[in-house]
């Protein structure tokens, strides 16, 4: 029998380590959700934008909400989860209507007519405008819709929610930001 050389011992060890590492990686991979991509804009100042209002009554600028806690919701008429989350948005909007929390809706990859129809059909009463060329979505790092961004009174994006949002999340986020603003 040919003797096992020293190289083969190193080889054995190397193989064992490599396979062990592979397995560890694959097991760890279960912990992550491949659909959860962190955007780069959270924690940075919210990009200023100006869009045309859906009802044609002029321009809508983020600047108007300066110094106030702001919720920006990206939506479209063809987006079924947007329709599902809408009642939660409406209820939350009503709840904070008398305060100085600002709600803004941005129409994403949709025609203004369809957007306007959607807004009317679903009782969206906060200001909404159309991001015609996608620059606003780009500036915020939008991956798809619905997405909701929370901007503090200091103008920094404090958080982002991907997918349909519920009332609890909305209220918690807004209350946290309002508390921070008071300090």
Partner 1 sequence: MTFADLGSAALRAALPLAIWGCGAAAYAVAKRDGRALASARWSALLAFVLVVLAALAMEGALVTHDFSVQYVALNNARETPLFFTIISLWAALEGSILLWTLVLAGATAYVAWRGTRELPRLGTTALAVLLGMVTFFLLLITTPAADPFVRIDAPANGNGPNPLLQNHPLMALHPPLLYLGYVLFSVPFAYAIASLIIGEAGDRWLVATRRFALVSWGLLGVGIVAGSWWSYAVLGWGGYWAWDPVENAAIMPWLTATAYLHSVMVEEKRRLLRTWNLSLVITTFALTILGTFLTRSGVVNSVHAFTQSAIGPLLLGYFVTIVVLSVGLMLWRMPRLADQGGLGAPLSREAVFLFQNVVFVAATLTVLLGTLYPLIAEAISGAQLSIGRPYFDRVEVPLALALLFLMGIGPQLPWHGASRTTLERQFTAPLVAAAVGAVIAVIAGIDTPFAVLTYALAFFVAATVVQEFVRGTQARHVLHGESRGEAFANLLRRNGRRYGGYIVHLGIVVIAVAVATSQAGTVQQEKTLFAGDTMTAGPYTLTLANLRAASEPQRDLLVADVDVTGSGANEHLHPALVFYPNSTQAVGSPGIAAGPRDDIYTILVAYDTRANTWATIRVLVIPLVSWLWLGGLIVGLGAVIAALPQPKRRTAPVRVVEAPVPVEG
Partner 2 sequence: MTRSRAIIVIALVAVALALAWSARPRAETQTERVDRITSELRCVVCQGLSVKDSPSESARQMKEIVVQRVAEGRTDDQIRDEFRANYGDWVVLAPSLASWSGVVWLLPILAVLAGLAFAWRWTRERSVPLPEAPPAQLAALRERVAREESLDLPVDAS
**Interacting residues with partner 2 (CB under 8 A):** 1-3, 37-41, 44, 109, 133-135, 137-144
Q: Pattern 12-51, binding to partner 1, x per CB under 8 A?
A: x--xx--x--xxxxxxxxxxx-xx-xx-------------
d(CA 12, CA 18): 10
d(CA 102, CA 9): 68
| CA quadruple 106, 108, 114, 119: dihedral, nearest 10 | -30
| Partner from partner 2, partner 1, none binding residue 141, C-beta < 5-8 Å depending on class | partner 2
| Residue 87 to residues 90, 94, 117, Cα–Cα distance (Å) | 5, 11, 16
- Which contiguous run of DSSP H or E holds residue 92? helix 80-95
| Partner from partner 1, partner 2, none binding residue 6, C-beta < 5-8 Å depending on class | none
| Partner from partner 2, partner 1, none binding residue 134, C-beta < 5-8 Å depending on class | partner 2
> Which stretches of the chain bind partner 1, using CB under 8 A?
1-4, 8, 12, 15-16, 19, 22-32, 34-35, 37-38, 78-80, 111, 113-114
């Amino acid at each position: 029998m040919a003797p096992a050389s020293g190289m083969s011992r190193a080889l054995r060890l190397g193989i064992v380590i490599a396979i062990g590492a592979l397995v560890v990686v694959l097991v760890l991979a279960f912990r992550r959700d491949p659909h959860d991509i962190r955007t780069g804009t959270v924690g940075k100042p919210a990009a200023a934008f100006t869009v045309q209002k859906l009802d044609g009554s002029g321009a809508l600028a983020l600047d108007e909400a300066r110094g106030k806690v702001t919720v920006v919701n990206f939506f479209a008429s063809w987006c079924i989860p947007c329709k599902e989350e809408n009642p939660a948005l409406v209820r939350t909007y009503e709840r904070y209507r008398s305060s100085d929390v600002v709600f803004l809706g941005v129409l994403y990859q949709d025609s203004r007519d369809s957007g306007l129809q959607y807004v009317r059909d679903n009782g969206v009463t906060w200001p909404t405008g159309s991001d015609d060329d996608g620059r606003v979505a780009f500036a915020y790092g939008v991956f798809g819709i619905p997405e909701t961004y929370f901007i503090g009174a200091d103008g920094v994006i404090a958080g982002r929610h991907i997918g349909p949002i519920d009332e609890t999340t909305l209220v918690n986020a807004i209350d946290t930001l309002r508390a921070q603003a008071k300090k």
